[in-house]
Amino acid sequence: MAMLELKNVHAHYGKIHALKNVSIKVNKGEIVTLIGGNGAGKSTTLKTISGTLKPSSGQVFLNGEDLAKYPAHEIVKKGIVQVPEGRRIFGQLTVMENLDLGAFTSKDKKKDAQTIEKIFELFPRLAERCRQVAGTLSGGEQQMLAMGRALMTNPKILLLDEPSMGLAPVLVDNVFKTIKILHAEGTTILLVEQNARMALKTASRGYVIQTGKVIFEDDAKKLLENEMVKKAYMGD
């Protein structure tokens, strides 16, 4: 059984039909990527998963349980955590306070301390700057912080919304390296990206979404070689 499954999901913003019959599966321990252009419905898909936008029809399952009845903040407790697009760190709080708020749903202080240790191991830069105001971090560091903050809950599945957006090429490489490390440690990841080449190189499977519909679904390697995908999303 898939860990996360979207089954025939439709979603609307008022009259705009943003998602049309989207079905996606993410198995435990997988990196799955969802690629597509601007306005294709990538972020909307993530919104229906994290509960901030309820599907108008269709279901979202986590380990077989329908998530429709849970409000957004309960879904976080279920183990689905999102790293929002554009990082959205709490710029006026310190790095430590950001991480602390990431662990908001947790009530086990000891475990939180261990998780912080782990995150600092993964991102040593954050440890160096733990008392600095987060808004003064560089873009790459802010992305680290956003990911660290999401990891504070020890999520079952991590939703990454365009983590490479607005970063220099070197830093983009770093972000994808980190994603691989997280994957190696056993985190399940759904990666939404515009940088299709990097995303498909990192992921095991991929979905291509266009105007609210999933148009391709295949192993990442095969998608990398798909002429249509190459032409539309990799500029070849």
Binding test (CB under 8 A) with other proteins, winner from 45, 48, 50, 142: 50
Alpha helices in 107-219 (DSSP H): 109-122, 124-128, 139-151, 169-184, 196-202
What's phi and psi for 206, nearest 5 deg? -145, 155
List 1, 14, 15, 92, residue binding other proteins (CB under 8 A) = 92
Nearer to other proteins, 85 or 217 (CB): 85
Site for other proteins contains 42 (CB under 8 A):
no
Instruction: Please give the helix or strand (H or E) that residue 220 lies within, else none.
Output: helix 220-225
Query: Rounded to the nearest whole angstrom, what is the least distance from the CB of residue 30 to other proteins in the complex?
Result: 22
C-alpha–C-alpha distance, residues 98 and 106, integer Å? 14
Measure the CA–CA gap between 196 and 180, rounded to whole angstroms: 16
Q: Does 148 bind other proteins (CB under 8 A)?
A: no
Q: Count the Cβ atoms, other than its own, within 10 Å of residue 174.
A: 17
Q: Of 14-22, 72-80, 204-212, 215-223, which segment contacts other proteins by CB under 8 A?
A: 72-80
Q: Is 188 in the site for other proteins (CB under 8 A)?
A: no
Q: Cα-flanking dihedrals φ and ψ of residue 12, to 5°?
A: -125, 145
**Closest separation between CB of residue 50 and other proteins, Å?**
6
For other proteins, the binding residue among 33, 44, 153, 202 (CB under 8 A) is 153
Minimum CB–partner distance for residue 106 and other proteins (Å):
9
Does residue 111 bind other proteins (CB under 8 A)? no
**How many residues bind other proteins, per CB under 8 A?**
30
Q: Which range, of 13-21, 33-41, 92-100, 222-230, touches other proteins by CB under 8 A?
A: 92-100
| Rounded CA separation 149/101 (Å) | 8
91 binding other proteins? (CB under 8 A): yes
Residue 89: other Cβ atoms inside 10 A:
23
- The Cα–Cα gap between 114 and 128 comes to 17
- Strands 205-210 and 31-35, by their bridges, are parallel
Q: Of these, 2, 93, 165, 215, which contacts other proteins (CB under 8 A)?
A: 93
Footprint of other proteins (CB under 8 A): 50, 52, 71-74, 76-77, 81-82, 84, 88-93, 97, 100-102, 104-105, 129, 131-133, 136, 149, 153
